[in-house]
Chain A
Amino acid sequence: MLRKILALTIIVIILPPVYLRAGQGDEFVFAQLKFQGNWDPYPGAFEQMYYYLTNTTSISMLPERRVVELNDKDLFYSPFLVFTGKGSYPEFSSDELESLRRYVEGGGIIFIDTCGCEAFEASVNRTLSGVFPEEDNGFSKIPDDSAVFRAFYLVDYVAGRKMNAPYLEGMERGGRIAVIKSKNDLVGIWPRDRLGNWEHELTPGRPDQRKEAVKLMLNIMIYSVSGTYKADPVHTPHIEEKLGR
C-alpha cells in the first residue's frame, strides 16, 4: 500500500502540476469557496487530490482548482464546492446567502471541512442557518451504509488529519445529501512539500489513518458525481460480502 502511494507520489511530483483548457466541458471541477477570512488553509491540497483521483478512477477532472466567490457566475458551473477555513469570518451578505441557497437548490454539493476549528464551524453554522432558515435540525450524522462511504472505496472509519468526530454530518435537500460536513480536517492530510513529504502530521496517528482519510476524501468527490450509485440494490450484496457482513 505504502509503496503504491509512494509511486503515485513520484508521478505527482514529476508531472507538471496543472494545465489549462479552453473549457470545462463535463469534467469534474474542484471549486473552492473564497471569502473574507482564512479560506485556504491548505493551498497545496488540490494537486494531490487531482492526481489521486484521476489516476485511480475514471473521472476526468479539470487540472486546476477553481476558486470562486459566492457572487461569481462560475459558482453555478461548479457543482462541487469545497468550503473550508480556519477561524471565524464575517457574515455573508443576503445576496451571497441567496446565491448559496440557489446553488444547493440547483444541484450543487458543498463539502465543508471545519479543519477541526470550532470558530470556523460556528461561522459555518451561522451561514447555513441564514441560507436555510427553515431547517430545524440542519445536520445529521451520515449513516455508515451511505453511498458516501462506498462510492469507490470501502471506508473503514471516518478519519482525517484529526479524529475529532467518528462521523460525517450531512444536510439533505431534495432527497440527496447536499451538504457534507467533516470536523476531522480531511483537507489537511493532502499537502506535501517539494520533497514529497506529508506537510502535516496526523493525530493521533493511527497506521491507516491517512489511508482511510484519503479514501474518504476521494469518496466524497466521487459521490458528488456518482450520487447514490453504490446504494443501488445491485451493489449491496457484493459490498456487504466484502465488508464481511
Chain B
Amino acid sequence: MTLSFQTVTLWLAAAVVLFSVSFLLKPRDGWLLLRIFIYLSVLFILLGPSISMRRTRTRDARLGVYVDRSRSMGVEERYMEAYKEVNRMKEAFGSAADLSIYGFDSEVWSMQKEELKTEPEGDRTDISAVFDEGVYDARVLISDGRDNWGESPLAHDRVKMTPVFTLGTGSRSPAPDLEISGLKVPGFAFRGREVEIGFKLLNKASDTGRTTALVRNDEKIVSRKPIELGGREKIPVSMSFVPEDTGLHSYTLEVEEIPGEVNLANNVRNFQIQVNRKKIRIIYVAGKPSWEYSFLRRLIKSDPHIDLVTFLILRNPENVTIVPENELSLIHFPAREMFTEKIYDFDLLIYDNFAYGNFFPENYLHHIKEFVAEGGGFIMTGGENSFLRGGYAKTPIGEILPVTFNENLSRWQVEEYKIEPAYSLSHPLLNIARDEDLSRQIWSEMPSLEGYDPGLEAKGSADVLMKKGGKTPIIAVKNYGEGRTMALNANTTWRWCMGLAGRGRGPHYYNRFWRETIRYMIRTGDVDRVQIFPARDRVNMGEYADINIRVLDEYLQPLDNALLEVRLKKPSGEKISVSTPELTDGDGWYETSVYAPDKGEYGIIVRASLDNRLIGENRESFRVSEADREMIRTSLNEGLLKEIASVSGGRYFSAGKMDYQKILERAKEKVPGEISRNITWSWWPFYIVLITALFTEWYLRRKRGLN
C-alpha cells in the first residue's frame, strides 16, 4: 500500500473531526465513535503507516566537456594544459561517466581525438554557445574565459539548468606582446647619406624586459637598436642606416620577440626606399658644339641637384689647326676611363649626335649596355652622326635602344615638322602642364622641330611618345634591365625654348620637358612626391586610422609649406573630405587621422599643391577589419568562469586541480531515476494521535463510567 502525503493529511483531518464530534455527541455515541477511530488507526499503523522514498538510476552520468578552441588559447601553454586535462579526465572517469568532448569558438562541434591535438584557430569565443549543445548531467568548460562574441554566458537561459564545472587556463596578467606602430619612412634617400626611420613600439603587457629592433636589407642587418621596455606602453624608437647602393630597396623592420610572446605578426613591418645619389650624375657626350648641346647643357648645369660631366668634340681629324697646340684648350677625351670604369658612378648617359667609332672601340659599348641593365639611363639624340649613321647598328647600343634602323630609309633629313603626341598624355614626359588637356594644347602649339631620321622604327617593347606624320618615332623609350633608354629622333628641342620665348611664354615648358625626362630616365620620376603611409596596415572597425604623409619638391627635397587636400574613399565607394593634415616635425611630414567605422578597404587620396601649382597626387589604401578580438586581451578571465560555475551549481577549478569525484557525484545527482514512496513507522504524528485517542477514550470511560 502506498499513501500519498494528501492521504495523511486527510487522515489527520478525519482525526480532528472525530475528536470534535465525539465531544458533541452523546457520551456513548462519542465513545463509540472514538473507539472506532482508534481501531481504524491501529489498523492503519499495522498496515504500514510510514512514508519511504526510493530512487533508482536508469543510466550512467553524462558529462559534456567543452574545450575552448579560440586563438587566445594558443597564448602561453593554455591549450596544452587543456589537452592534458581532457586526457586526465578521460582516465579519471573511466566507465563511471559518459564523456562527450566538444570544441568551441563561436560555434560548438563534436571533436575527434586527432583534432584535439591541433592548435586552436578560432577567431571568436562564444561561451554561451556551449549551453545550447547537448543535454548533460554536468558540463565541464575548459577555457581562458575570454568571451568576446554573442550574448553573455551568464544571461543564457540554460546556464542554471546544468551544473557547469569550469577550468581556467592561462595567466591572469596580460600576455606579453610588442607591436610596431606608426612607422615613418622617408621613401627616398641618398646613397651614402644616413636614413632615419621612426616608429612607436607598443608594449601591450608593459613588459619590463628588453628587446632589439633590426632593419634588414635582404638578409643583411643594416641597423640594430636595443630597446629597454621599462614597463612603458609606448616607446618612440628611431633608427638609422646608410644605404650603400642606389635603386629601389626593400627593407624589413623586426622587433625581436620577448619571452612568452605569441603574436609575432605585429613585430615585423616591410618598407621600401628609393636610394639615389645625393646628386644626380650625368655624362653628356656631344659630337659637336650645337644649339641642342648648348641649351641642354645650360639647363642641366643650372640644376643644383645635378653633377654634369660633359665631353664635347670640338675638333675632328679633318679639321685644320691654325695655331700651335699649346694655344688650344683641347684635352684628350678619356673614353676608356669614362666608358669602362667610371660610367657606373653615373645615373644617366647622353649621346648627342656622337659617333663613337673615331674615339673608342665597340667593346666599350658593352659597358654602356651593362650600365643600363644595372639601372642607368641612356639617351641618344638625333643628328647626322646618331643611330645608324653613328655606327650603332648591330652593337650593344642597338640592342638596348627602343628603335631599330631601316638602312634603306635612314638619313638625317633636315625638314621642319610638328611633333604629335602618340601616347597617353598622363605620361610624365608628355604631361608637361600637369594637366592632360592643357598639355595636349601646349604640345599642339609647340614650335616645330627640324631634322629627323625617317629610318627609325620603334621596337615592339618600346613606348613611342611622339611621332612625326603618324609614323616616324620622334621620342621612344624602353625599359632595359633595371634601366631605361630613350631615342630622341631630333636635335632641335632648343627651338621649343626659343620659339616659346618669342611668343612671350618663356622657356618654361622646354625646361620642364627635359627635367621630367632626366627624372624619368633615372627613375627618380618613379619616386612619388606625395607619399602616404598609413600608420598601420590594418585598422580595427570604429577606430581612427593615423595617416602620415610626406611631400617632396621636384628635386625630392622635403616640402614643409604644401597645401594638402585629403579625401577618403569608404568601402561603399563614397568619397568624403578629410581635415587638412598638419605639419608635424617638419622635414616634409604631415599627419592626419580618419575615422573608419566600416569594415573593408579604405582609399586615401592626397593632392598636394604649392602656390596653386599641383605638386602631385597619390593614393594609398588600408584595410579596416573587425578587431582581432582574440588578441586584444588575452589574460585569464577567472571572474567569468567562477561566476558561471557559481550560478549553475558547479564549481571553478584552477588548472591541474580539478576534483573529478566531486564532478561525478554532482553529475550523478542529476541522473534521472524511478522514485518509490512508502508510509513508514517512523512517522511520529501517528503515534501521538493514537496515544491521544487512547487516552481520550480512557478518560471518557472513567468520567462517564463506561466500561
How many angstroms from the CA of A73 to the CA of B191 in the assembled complex?
47
B501 near A103 (CB under 8 angstroms)? yes
The 0/1 profile, CB within 8 Å of A marked 1, for residues 145-158 of chain B is 00000000000000
How many angstroms from the CA of A102 to the CA of B416 in the assembled complex?
23
**A58 interfacial by beta-carbon distance below 8 Å:** yes
Which residue on chain B has the smallest CB distance to residue A27?
Answer: B290
Beyond A56-B322, A150-B329, A227-B297, whether A106 also contacts B502 by CB under 8 A is: yes
Minimal beta-carbon separation of B521 from chain A (angstroms) = 21
How many angstroms from the CA of A170 to the CA of B675 in the assembled complex?
125
**A105 interfacial by beta-carbon distance below 8 Å:** yes
Number of A interface residues in the complex (CB < 8 A): 57
B331 near A56 (CB under 8 angstroms)? no
A234 near B499 (CB under 8 angstroms)? no
Stretch at the interface among B176-184, B308-316, B549-557: B308-316
Hey, which chain B residues are within 8 Å of A141, CB to CB? none
Stretch at the interface among A85-93, A112-120, A121-129, A235-243: A235-243
Contact of B289 among A21, A76, A176, A225 (CB under 8 A): A225
**Most A C-beta atoms less than 10 A away, residue of B320, B324, B327, B506:** B327
A8 near B291 (CB under 8 angstroms)? no
Contact of B295 among A5, A103, A107, A229 (CB under 8 A): A107
Hey, which chain B residues are within 8 Å of A174, CB to CB? 302
Hey, which chain B residues are within 8 Å of A222, CB to CB? 289, 314
Which residue on chain A has the smallest CB distance to residue B493?
Answer: A26
A106 near B290 (CB under 8 angstroms)? no
A22 near B314 (CB under 8 angstroms)? no
How many A-B residue pairs have C-beta atoms within 8 angstroms? Tell me: 161
Hey, which chain B residues are within 8 Å of A79, CB to CB? 291, 294-295, 494, 498
Contact of B309 among A106, A224, A230, A234 (CB under 8 A): A234
The 0/1 profile, CB within 8 Å of A marked 1, for residues 324-337 of chain B is 10111111000000
B331 near A235 (CB under 8 angstroms)? yes
A76 near B314 (CB under 8 angstroms)? no
A26 near B491 (CB under 8 angstroms)? yes
A230 near B329 (CB under 8 angstroms)? yes
How many angstroms from the CA of A102 to the CA of B414 in the assembled complex?
26
**B321 interfacial by beta-carbon distance below 8 Å:** yes
Name the interface residues of A55-107: CB closer than 8 Å to any CB of B: 55-60, 73, 75-77, 79, 99, 102-103, 105-107
Hey, which chain B residues are within 8 Å of A99, CB to CB? 502
How many angstroms from the CA of A63 to the CA of B353 in the assembled complex?
20
**Most A C-beta atoms less than 10 A away, residue of B326, B330, B500:** B330
A77 near B498 (CB under 8 angstroms)? yes
B309 near A176 (CB under 8 angstroms)? no
B329 near A57 (CB under 8 angstroms)? no
A76 near B383 (CB under 8 angstroms)? no
Hey, which chain A residues are within 8 Å of B293, CB to CB? 225-226
A58 near B316 (CB under 8 angstroms)? yes
Minimal beta-carbon separation of A219 from chain B (angstroms) = 9
Name the interface residues of A198-241: CB closer than 8 Å to any CB of B: 211, 214-215, 222, 224-230, 232, 234-235, 238-239
B314 near A25 (CB under 8 angstroms)? no
Beyond A57-B319, A152-B328, whether A21 also contacts B414 by CB under 8 A is: yes
**B450 interfacial by beta-carbon distance below 8 Å:** yes
Which residue on chain A has the smallest CB distance to residue B322?
Answer: A4
**A108 interfacial by beta-carbon distance below 8 Å:** yes
Minimal beta-carbon separation of A242 from chain B (angstroms) = 5
How many angstroms from the CA of A102 to the CA of B499 in the assembled complex?
10
**Most B C-beta atoms less than 10 A away, residue of A58, A174, A227:** A58
A76 near B499 (CB under 8 angstroms)? yes
How many angstroms from the CA of A39 to the CA of B502 in the assembled complex?
23
A5 near B322 (CB under 8 angstroms)? yes
B291 near A28 (CB under 8 angstroms)? yes
B492 near A25 (CB under 8 angstroms)? yes
Hey, which chain A residues are within 8 Å of B327, CB to CB? 153-154, 215
B501 near A153 (CB under 8 angstroms)? no
Name the interface residues of B283-301: CB closer than 8 Å to any CB of A: 287-295, 297-298, 301
Minimal beta-carbon separation of A143 from chain B (angstroms) = 16
Hey, which chain A residues are within 8 Å of B326, CB to CB? 154, 242
Hey, which chain A residues are within 8 Å of B494, CB to CB? 26, 79, 107
How many angstroms from the CA of A153 to the CA of B328 in the assembled complex?
4
A215 near B323 (CB under 8 angstroms)? yes
A55 near B414 (CB under 8 angstroms)? no
Supplied contacts A25-B450, A76-B499, A226-B293, 11 more A-B pairs, CB within 8 Å: A7-B320, A25-B412, A25-B491, A76-B501, A79-B291, A79-B494, A99-B502, A105-B506, A107-B497, A234-B309, A238-B331
A and B contact pairs by CB, cutoff 8 A, 23 listed: A22-B415, A23-B451, A55-B319, A58-B287, A58-B289, A79-B291, A102-B502, A106-B497, A106-B498, A106-B501, A106-B502, A107-B295, A107-B497, A150-B329, A152-B315, A154-B327, A154-B329, A222-B314, A229-B310, A234-B331, A238-B329, A238-B331, A239-B329
In the complex, the 7 A-B pairs of residues with the closest C-beta atoms, listed nearest first: A106-B501, A76-B502, A225-B289, A25-B414, A23-B414, A58-B288, A25-B451
